[in-house]
Structure 1
Amino acid sequence: MTYFARKFGFFLATLWAVVTLNFLIPRLQPGDPAEIMVKRLAGKDAALDPAQVKAMRAMLGAPDGSLWNQYVSYLGELVHGNFGLSYTYYPYKVTDVIAQAFWWTVVLVVVTQVVSFVVGIVLGAYAAWRRNSRLDSIVTLGSTFLGTLQPFWIGLLLLYVFGYSLGWFPTSGGYEESTPGFNWPFIQEAVSHSFLPALALLIVTPIGWILGMRNTMIMNLGEDYIRLAKAKGLRDRDVALRYAARNALLPSVTGFALALGGVLGGAILVETVFDYPGLGRLMGEAVQNKDYPLLQTLMLLTTAGVLVANLAADLLYGVLDPRARRAQA
């Protein structure tokens, strides 16, 4: 119980630090969102009217007073689940704006993460078991080469070839004319619009899992218990799956949990390239427009998701590997 209590205490302390930094970072950035919106309405070359800026701050509900008073007010609103109005999508609430984009990102990124994890673990384990073979060379060199490429660059290439040149897939958005809901026309359009963004992520995302699983499993293959298993006459398949791969998989559990926790941050560059209506695109718009309420909420969701996933991984690790509990007892 000491192990689990300590992990939960670290989680609470880190969550408080994240909430505090989430409050401070947007306010330390230069620029005034009220001035940005007034300039947008009046034109870039128009002179700023202090009265208009003041009225815009009041309309947006921008925080005022000392930094400490703002912090106390922020914590109070956070406890009550009130994240304010979005400056970019005024007068809609931040929660409403995020709710519309939430499932787009979750479906896109979760599916790609799960597929990438399974493919990466299988290929990495097989390459490690057949190390120094032709397959191992192809997987390792291919992964190293693809790892130098950026998802947004691959997205631009896919967009040009399959979107503009061949016209096989839509070039932007999440759907076209169908009514959102659980109906076949909408599902067809959603899958068609999400195919290229998902492919751009699937080309690069498995690389880390492949190389990590391969290197960890190769180290495990040199352990004494592997030699003992071979000496006992166990089949190569059983040694690879039940011993080497099983132990090599443990470090990947934490990485996979963190990757799923980071889903709430979206794939900012990929979603921006394809104009995909997810949380990543919202994050980019919030940064560009100094939308503090939306930016703070997205950052809090992302970091809280990573923390919760990390806590779950630590607890699961303690269950799967008793040595972790004994080490911190």
Structure 2
Amino acid sequence: MNVKGLVRAVLTKLAGGAVMVWVVASFTFFLVHALPGSPGKVAYESYLSQGLSPDEAMAKVAVIYGYTSQDPLATQYVNYVSDLLHGNLGLSISYSGVPVSQVIGNALPWTLIPILSGLLISFAIGTTAGVVAAVKRSSRWGGALSLSASLIAGIPSFVLAILLTTVFHTQLGWLPYGETNDPWVDSGWSAAYIGSVAYYAILPVATYVLISYGGWMLSMRSSVASVLGDDFILASELRGITPGTRLRYIGRNAILPLFTTLAIACGYLFGGAILIENAFNYPGLGRLLLQSIGSRDYPLMTGAFLIITIAVVLANIIADLLYSVIDPRVRR
């Protein structure tokens, strides 16, 4: 694929992704407004309960949303889309008027770091175990690895989180729970702070690793099994290659389809972060979304959901582009 074709493909996929984000954002807007009590009305009643006059409450609602509950729904939607195009996600009600973008920005690193760490670790372990399980499928090792992957893949993420917390925090007391770092360590790019963050993230990261491991292992085992029957493997064996070289041939070709799934899995874990972060009381984007639903903080709810949607769409775009880069057959 030449440079011009590559640019065209990237722009096409980005345009399709933008349309998808717009569709989801629009659906979220109308879904929220279909709930009992419109967002503007909820905020208006909240300000009245705080002792503000009707005019003052209406003015505050207009500042937060850019419209009042008395405006037609079409006008509210146009203002909402206009604000999104300008990067304005509104002001959070439960955070006393703090911009939603700032609230999400503070929570986003605590979702990205555990998800990316858990995803990469589980990918490395799962693909390696998948190769061993496929090559040694007639041995006890192959059967044990396949059984472990099947069992772990069937356990819901929040159940794993509860089990890990019960065993390693409540019973053994080895690992911390409910915080992001040691409160006695000053925040910053110091070794002490980074080590504290890593230590406090062990349980969430371990949960992401376990819920992803089974899928990677089983997928890699199936991919390796299909590659084992290819002609180039038979030809290389007839030439007398070493077992190590044979494994590299198999692994490099079998892992290609999984690279696409790797990016998609990142977006999938963003959605699953809601249950995991709530189980660990971890202040990430998923828990923020859950709190916004409970407090009926509609600007924060739609903003958090929009960010998760963008992450999923971008993950799919990256997966498509990545596969065309790593596999020359797709480029041709």
Q: TM-score, normalised by structure 2?
A: 0.85
Distance in 1 of aligned mates of 2:205 and 2:326: 32
> Counterpart in 1 of 2:223?
216
Instruction: Output the CA distance in 1 between the equivalents of 2:212 and 2:312.
Output: 17
Indicate the residue corresponding to 2:297 in structure 1. Answer: 291
Q: Any conservation in 1 of the 2:48–2:57 contact (CA below 8 Å)?
A: no
**Which of 1, 11, 16 is the matching residue for 2:14?**
11
Aligned-partner residue type, residue 278 of structure 1? G
Aligned AA for 1:198?
A: V
| Code of the aligned partner of 2:215 | G
TM-score using structure 1 length: 0.86
- Counterpart of 1:27 (choices 27, 30, 34) is 30
Q: Distance in 2 between matches of 1:262 and 1:171?
A: 24
Unaligned ranges ≥5, structure 2: none
Asked if structure 1 preserves the Cα contact closer than 8 Å seen for 2:14 and 2:317, the reply is: yes
CA distance 1:123–1:4, shift in 2 (3 Å): farther
Deviation (angstroms), 1:55: 6.2
Q: Which moved more, 1:231-240 or 1:127-136?
A: 231-240
Q: Does 110-119 or 279-288 show the bigger shift? A: 279-288
Who is 2:169 aligned against? 163
Once the two structures are superposed, residues 20-72 of structure 1 have per-residue CA deviations (whole angstroms, 9 ceiling, x without a partner) of 321322432413345556777899xxxxx988975663453264433433333
2:132 is equivalent to residue 120 of structure 1? no
Q: Which residue of 2 aligns with 1:189?
A: 196
Q: Which residue of 2 aligns with 1:61?
A: 65
Segments of 5+ residues of structure 1 without an aligned counterpart are 44-48
Residue 314 of structure 2 corresponds to: 308
Instruction: Tell me, yes or no, if the aligned pair for 1:83 and 1:93 is still in contact at 8 Å.
Output: yes
Q: Provide the aligned length of Structure 1 versus Structure 2.
A: 320
Residue in structure 1 matched with residue 138 of structure 2 by the alignment:
132
1:274-325 per-position Cα deviation (integer Å, ceiling 9, x unaligned): 1111111112112333333222222222222233232233223223223223
CA deviations on 1:177-221 (whole Å, 9 max, x unpaired) are: 433222344334323321222222222221111000100110111
Deviates more, 1:231-240 or 1:102-111: 231-240
Q: RMSD in angstroms over aligned alpha carbons? A: 2.8
Q: Which deviates the most, 295-304 or 224-233? A: 295-304
Which portions of structure 1, spanning 4 or more consecutive aligned residues, are displaced by more than 6 angstroms?
Answer: 38-43, 49-53
- Which residue of structure 1 lines up, in the alignment, with residue 248 of structure 2? 241
The partner residue of 1:106 within 112, 131, 134 is: 112
Change in CA separation of 1:115 and 1:3 when aligned onto 2, cut-off 3 Å = same
Alignment of 1:272 onto 2:278: yes
Shift of 1:135: 0.8
Letter in 2 for 1:31: P
